[in-house]
Amino acid sequence: MTTLLYDNIVGVMQNYLGPASQRFVDRHITAHLDKSPQEVTVEDLDQLTLWIRVSLALLTDNPATVDECTSRLEDLA
């Protein structure tokens, strides 16, 4: 289940960051959750989504894109 969740998170992010998605997600998981990407759980999703939201908001000036991405990540729970 955990690997499937991780793959789904990266899959969502690929729509917004393309090939940089895996590295982006991996860095957030290791830096903010203090675990390996393969250990991410549904319980981590709220905190991870918050960090991704903040970072994505720095990368784009389109709040609708940030909201859409956040919503798609929340739907994974």
Mean pLDDT estimate for the chain: 95
CB 37 within 8 A of CB 29: yes
Q: Which residues contact 60 (CB under 8 A, 6 or more apart)?
A: 66
d(CA 75, CA 73): 5
pLDDT tens, position by position, 1-13? 468 999 999 999 9
Q: Average pLDDT, stretch 58-69?
A: 96
Query: What's the whole-model pTM score?
Result: 0.92
pLDDT of 2 reads 65
User: First and final CA of the chain: distance in angstroms?
Assistant: 12
Three-state DSSP class for residue 40: coil
Whether the pLDDT of residue 77 is over 60: the answer is yes
Q: What is the dihedral of CA 33, 51, 3, 73, to 10 degrees?
A: 150
Joined together, the tokens standing for residue 30 give 């290791």
